[in-house]
Structure 1
């Protein structure tokens, strides 16, 4: 991660606003990866400052059904995980809405012994699993899907051999992460080639955490990854603030001329989504990424006329799209076709909601172009998608009395305290903006 510098028109010491300090909860991506790695490491690990949200609680509960013991301190200061290595025995696992549970846990289950049935909500059942199911079958597992390559999914496991495998990763990097984390539990080395990989920073995060838990991973010049057997060792880990969640307060600072600092999220972050601040810098914000914190300061103007490839940080594109109408020219976001297969078709959902706000939007298979204009009052269709709700909350802050959400509570998937924290930082953000009309 490189430090970025203020534009020449950035705030001076005499005009810079006072800096607000945001309280951002732990990273969902880091929390769920750490939980699984700790479960696969025989012995006791502690995960400090975990995210406590719908998705992480669903993931934690799923692990307990696989025989892993998890003890939480009363204040959730840390979770203590007693890992079992490979799972043994039959189990039914409810993944709720958590895509990470549906993609990470079947490969882990396949390394053990037993019959494991995975299911989830209607929203999660609609998300594809075929590339992962096919990969597990090629590695020796017996996999049955009751739908068209989706949940419910049954894995009949007797352990997995290694070998070489090519995986279609054009729709989700989570398939790659699931197989990589399981790889040290295989009977022989696994070499994996991820074809058309999207969201590479999430795979880099996975590899960094695997190495912390003792795995041996080598990357070849052709991009293939080879993971040796040998399992994991227990490790304690402190979870960083969630960089994806931080985008909402960073965007709010850029859109309203405020200055917001997120401590604990700095140059050494494992999260690629911190690169969202580079997008804000392109739009004219002042960005400082220090060793132990990141600060974004708005300059009173958002520059348009930019085109950005956000394919590697696609969880953040909605945040940028939501404030794009406030720029002084069009903003084009490219490379996000795979975002159509998330909690909702996020490309279409953003286009329709912005259009409902009276904003001109051009939509392509993998892109959006958002034109500037004053938003008009409307109710946003959240599609039970936490990121839609939080992104449009930023627009509602910057354009008062315009935005209502039809499902404000869906933020509990990753940030149950979002509305309260937004209101603490920005007193003009009133809860009536976020209730059903």
Structure 2
């Protein structure tokens, strides 16, 4: 079995068990009939946090419509407000809550940024702080302080940003001077594509822009970097990838923008997979015809498990169960955030499965591979960890406690398993508020969707 060098489930389980009382255990509802659900989801965390950063750096005001309101997005809002941006919540008539109206301001440091559990905050905001005048200290929840940061800190040091050379992780302080020279840098982003996106998002404000080269052996989640490049281009920035592993952002202004945030397609994963686990069908409205979101790959990945996928003329996407769930052998290096849901599906398949290219998800909110292996194992499953993924051999599962380790995707995975396995109790389901505060409401609605739609209103 692969032994992770990072703290994860075994280290955190004692803390979870100390909190196993009636208030922290959530009984996952079990489906008693095939689903017929319609689940409307709020905006993409990945998109809204990129657009918030670009709006704070822009030369004119921006409006973000239908944004996600979650712990991650609130951490980003507070971070950028602390650095000088004015961010107001306006027009609360929408289905998803108020819009964000962002007015750029002079970037001033001398503040502390609390990142919470948000990787986008701890990796996207330090380059903004480098453009501010004064020191900005970054810290995070205890569970997030061990997340990889060295690639980003190395990038900033190469750009002559003043950061203590002995610092390798949170907490740390960026001593901003009001400008960053820019230039050519080379970093290892094997642990997270967010190191690259974090630099690129601010690079148009550097004196000479940036040319960034990835120096590692592998690059996870490349679509997220494509998302960053697309967001920059939509604001008039000259951003390109002249060859694989190299990105160039030219210096220049960042335009203000009125943008509607797409629904979060990665958050759609457990809901769509529920159709396969419980039978029936689940529909997600407002599915974008073109997008840079990784979750869009669900439309091609779920059929490998035996699902039927259809696109409605109204812009919706529907997943319908097949006769059985098929075992798969799949490389998810481009879509690691979907892995927890898909690994859970494999536990109910008609044969073994192998998931590859996802060693990097050991460095998320927890070591997700270890969390899934130990969680499924405790419920009777058979999962083997590898350095780059897991193998799953389906076995009958039984109820039990499902630890979450402060990880929203581990929590939603437990809920998915509970659809077909009575007696699954999830520790700290509230961790789903990181990206989807309405999760339990939507999930209960979905389980009862034989008679009622599960629609967020």
TM-score (structure 1 length as normaliser): 0.90
Matches within 5 A, 1:381-392: 381-392=403-414
Question: In the superposition, relative to structure 1, how do residues 178 and 374 fare at CA in structure 2: closer, same or farther (>3 Å)?
Answer: same
Match of 2:200 in 1: 180
Match of 1:225 in 2: 247
Mind listing any 5+ residue stretches in structure 2 that lack a counterpart?
A: 1-33, 451-457
Q: Provide the C-alpha distance between the structure 1 equivalents of 2:240 and 2:188, rounded to a whole number of angstroms.
A: 20
Match of 1:260 in 2: 282
Match of 2:297 in 1: 275
Match of 1:150 in 2: 169
Is residue 87 of structure 2 the alignment partner of residue 66 of structure 1? no
Match of 1:294 in 2: 317
**1:18-56 CA deviation, whole Å, 9 max, x = no partner?**
853111111100110011110000321000011111111
Checking the alignment, whether the CA contact within 8 Å between 2:35 and 2:275 is kept in structure 1 is no
Measured after TM superposition, the shift of residue 278 of structure 1 is 2.2
Checking the alignment, whether the CA contact within 8 Å between 2:83 and 2:132 is kept in structure 1 is no
Q: Secondary structure at the match of 2:211?
A: strand
TM-score (structure 2 length as normaliser): 0.86
Q: Provide the C-alpha distance between the structure 1 equivalents of 2:340 and 2:89, rounded to a whole number of angstroms.
A: 33
Checking the alignment, whether the CA contact within 8 Å between 2:147 and 2:363 is kept in structure 1 is yes
Is residue 112 of structure 2 the alignment partner of residue 92 of structure 1? yes
How well do the aligned residues superpose, as a CA RMSD in angstroms? 1.8
Q: Provide the C-alpha distance between the structure 2 equivalents of 1:220 and 1:99, rounded to a whole number of angstroms.
A: 27
Q: Provide the C-alpha distance between the structure 2 equivalents of 1:222 and 1:247, rounded to a whole number of angstroms.
A: 28
**1:306-341 CA deviation, whole Å, 9 max, x = no partner?**
211111111110001112121100111111111001
Match of 1:311 in 2: 333
Measured after TM superposition, the shift of residue 211 of structure 1 is 0.9
Q: Provide the C-alpha distance between the structure 2 equivalents of 1:413 and 1:94, rounded to a whole number of angstroms.
A: 14
Is residue 427 of structure 2 the alignment partner of residue 410 of structure 1? no
Measured after TM superposition, the shift of residue 213 of structure 1 is 1.4
Match of 2:43 in 1: 26
Question: In the superposition, relative to structure 1, how do residues 289 and 142 fare at CA in structure 2: closer, same or farther (>3 Å)?
Answer: farther
Match of 1:13 in 2: none
Q: Provide the C-alpha distance between the structure 1 equivalents of 2:205 and 2:225, rounded to a whole number of angstroms.
A: 18
- Considering Cα pairs closer than 8 Å and 6+ residues apart, tell me whether 1 or 2 has the greater RCO: 2
**1:166-221 CA deviation, whole Å, 9 max, x = no partner?**
12110000000000011100001311112332100000011111111121112213
Is residue 230 of structure 2 the alignment partner of residue 208 of structure 1? yes
Q: Provide the C-alpha distance between the structure 2 equivalents of 1:264 and 1:145, rounded to a whole number of angstroms.
A: 47
Checking the alignment, whether the CA contact within 8 Å between 2:229 and 2:240 is kept in structure 1 is no
**1:274-321 CA deviation, whole Å, 9 max, x = no partner?**
2133221101000124672221111141011x2111111111100011
Q: Provide the C-alpha distance between the structure 2 equivalents of 1:116 and 1:64, rounded to a whole number of angstroms.
A: 13
Matches within 5 A, 1:337-376: 337-376=359-398
Checking the alignment, whether the CA contact within 8 Å between 2:197 and 2:225 is kept in structure 1 is yes
Q: Provide the C-alpha distance between the structure 1 equivalents of 2:200 and 2:380, rounded to a whole number of angstroms.
A: 45
Match of 1:118 in 2: 138
Q: Secondary structure at the match of 1:312?
A: coil
Measured after TM superposition, the shift of residue 127 of structure 1 is 0.6
Q: Provide the C-alpha distance between the structure 2 equivalents of 1:218 and 1:127, rounded to a whole number of angstroms.
A: 28
Match of 1:48 in 2: 65
Measured after TM superposition, the shift of residue 428 of structure 1 is 8.1
Mind listing any 5+ residue stretches in structure 1 that lack a counterpart?
A: 1-16, 430-437
Measured after TM superposition, the shift of residue 72 of structure 1 is 0.3
- Number of equivalences: 409
